[in-house]
Structure 1
Amino acid sequence: MSTHESVEANMSTNTTVKMAKRALVTGASSGIGAAIARELAALGIDLVLTARRRAALEAVAASCKGVKVEIVTADLGKPDAAHALWAAATASGPIDILINNAGFGYFRRFDEVDWARDAELVQLNMTSLVALARCFVDAHRAGTTPAHMLNIASTGAYQSVPNMALYAASKAFVRNFSEALHDEYRGTPLSVTCICPGGTETAFHAASGGGDYSWIANASTKSAEFVAHAAVRAMLAGKRTVVPGLFNQLSTFGVRFLSRRVASKVATQVLGKPRLALPVRSAT
């Protein structure tokens, strides 16, 4: 499909939405990012996929049929990587959809993790996300055609999460940042959506050192494809914040009736104990 063609998709609201033409997906080598890439490809959207593992990106690219797919390897955990990525992604055309999916976390007490890893988490989950968001907004703030930004947060954004203190805090930042941007650009062609998944069937859990979860956490776990489908639909409909899955919706709604201390204690019970060994972070 030509990058100059537009695609139309019928949403569940029976509204016909004019689709954008080219999307940048970060953290696209696996999990939710890879599933979103395939979801966009099915809608005829050309793709720029980025992560650290080129071989994994090539495998995802091969599964995105019928569209043009470019690969840019980048480590967004490094300072200034976001601006270099944006320059490479836009070298052959504008980006109409930005999927800020790249991120990682660990399931450990704060003092048990090396500071360098925390610094990388802050850079990847927040600083690079903001840098790419700024590049995207600067490219579209005077535009007249639809542009969509989708930022991936977490149900962990709704309360403090012991043993995932920094990760949950970073996702609270993503949620608040995204919701503010949504309201700032309401009524313009630029829309910003935040998706807050609960547990998802990806490599995140093994990489974070988690997995000893309660039945509640296991029962609410969704597939990456389920989350991706909900995320893309919400983005194209211009939604503000969406929590995929009924169980997750109930938990994020119910937490507002608890004190913050009790909500934190509940999170501890739901997620269980960290594993004995913390794996090396896999590239995404």
Structure 2
Amino acid sequence: MNTYNTINVGRRALVTGASSGIGAAIARELAAIGIDLVLTARRRDALDAVAATCKGVKVEIVTADLGKPDAAHALWDAATANGPIDILINNAGFGYFRRFDEVDWSRDAELIQLNLTSLVALARCFVDAHKAGTAPAHMLNIASTGAYQSVPNMALYAASKAFVRNFSEALHDEHLGTPLSVTCICPGGTETAFHAASGGGDYSWIANASMKSAEFVAHAAIRAMLSGKRTIVPGLLNKLTCFGVRFMSRRLASRVATQVLGKPRFALPTRSLT
């Protein structure tokens, strides 16, 4: 059962990275409260499968690779062709679990494009579309608990999520008192294909104990977004971890992250799944 305040909620949402994991779960959460959807990712077959589970609403599919330059603006044009976007879910992203010097620059460039540049481009399109509006508009950006500290073997990914968190919180504060709200969610480990796609790790019991389902994260995210929250960390252990970092030196926090995540476990695929 959905426990959301849906008064004055927009009627059409764009969800990036919607082909699996948190993005797919968010799409289903939004459909359950009557929000029409524009779903995007690279894989049409996976998007079709997700769309089939989003009952009772209109679902459009736009295939796009946001790891490519200028893909964000082309996506925005396609997504708004049939009507305005009232809710933007910036979920698309990927990471890898390896030393920085063990991965080709082309992969890092794609990560920066997807996790940062495309997210900012879509955020700008959304803000420009709503800055003079009077109807409620909601932006939800997906970061990570990695946004609270440096994470060895996920150096660039965690740094990109720190950017997302800081960027989102600044936008939230810039638009206080307006119909436009911006929320950032910082999940910890989530039961998705991300771990295999990133090369995974020999995780400690703490990391495994704090793992949440994509549905849990999606529900927390949408509830926070519709409540106009600034930042949320879903899950008690994840909250305690992010709070506890404040009392550690940055060097100690980095060492703890290394112990919690362990060593790379799986082979590194050529590309993430979403």
Interval of TM-score (by shorter of Structure 1 and Structure 2)? over 0.9
Kept in 2: contact 1:10–1:17 (CA 8 A): no
1:258 to 248, 257, 267: 248
Give the root-mean-square deviation of aligned CA atoms: 1.0
- The within-5 A match list for 1:1-284 is 11=4, 17-275=7-265, 277-284=267-274
- Distance in 2 (CA, whole Å) between partners of 1:214 and 1:236 is 34
- Distance in 1 (CA, whole Å) between partners of 2:3 and 2:264 is 43
Kept in 1: contact 2:97–2:201 (CA 8 A): no
- Distance in 2 (CA, whole Å) between partners of 1:208 and 1:119 is 16
- Distance in 2 (CA, whole Å) between partners of 1:66 and 1:250 is 38
Q: Deviations over 1:112-147 (max 9, x none)?
A: 000000000000000000000000000000000000
- Distance in 2 (CA, whole Å) between partners of 1:266 and 1:204 is 21
Please report how far the alpha carbon of residue 16 of structure 1 lies from its aligned counterpart in structure 2 after TM superposition. 6.0
- Distance in 1 (CA, whole Å) between partners of 2:73 and 2:126 is 11
Kept in 1: contact 2:31–2:37 (CA 8 A): yes
Please report how far the alpha carbon of residue 279 of structure 1 lies from its aligned counterpart in structure 2 after TM superposition. 1.9
Secondary structure of 2:7's match? strand
Q: Deviations over 1:47-79 (max 9, x none)?
A: 000000000000000000000000000000000
Kept in 2: contact 1:17–1:237 (CA 8 A): no
Identity %: 87
- Distance in 2 (CA, whole Å) between partners of 1:109 and 1:282 is 17
Kept in 2: contact 1:181–1:192 (CA 8 A): yes
- Distance in 1 (CA, whole Å) between partners of 2:253 and 2:160 is 18
Secondary structure of 1:181's match? helix
Secondary structure of 1:149's match? strand
- Distance in 2 (CA, whole Å) between partners of 1:231 and 1:193 is 8
- Distance in 1 (CA, whole Å) between partners of 2:236 and 2:70 is 38
Please report how far the alpha carbon of residue 275 of structure 1 lies from its aligned counterpart in structure 2 after TM superposition. 2.2
Q: Deviations over 1:144-167 (max 9, x none)?
A: 000000000000000000000000
Question: Which structure 2 segments of 5+ residues have no match?
Answer: none
Kept in 1: contact 2:3–2:223 (CA 8 A): no
- Distance in 1 (CA, whole Å) between partners of 2:64 and 2:98 is 27
Kept in 1: contact 2:201–2:266 (CA 8 A): no
1:268 corresponds to which letter in structure 2?
Answer: T
Question: Which structure 1 segments of 5+ residues have no match?
Answer: 1-8
- Distance in 2 (CA, whole Å) between partners of 1:283 and 1:79 is 19
Secondary structure of 1:17's match? coil
Please report how far the alpha carbon of residue 17 of structure 1 lies from its aligned counterpart in structure 2 after TM superposition. 3.1
Moved over 4 A (4+): none
- Distance in 2 (CA, whole Å) between partners of 1:248 and 1:161 is 15
Change (3 A) 1:102 1:16: closer
Kept in 2: contact 1:47–1:67 (CA 8 A): yes
User: What is the aligned length?
Assistant: 273
- Distance in 2 (CA, whole Å) between partners of 1:105 and 1:38 is 24
Q: Deviations over 1:243-275 (max 9, x none)?
A: 000000000001000000000000000000012
Secondary structure of 1:173's match? helix
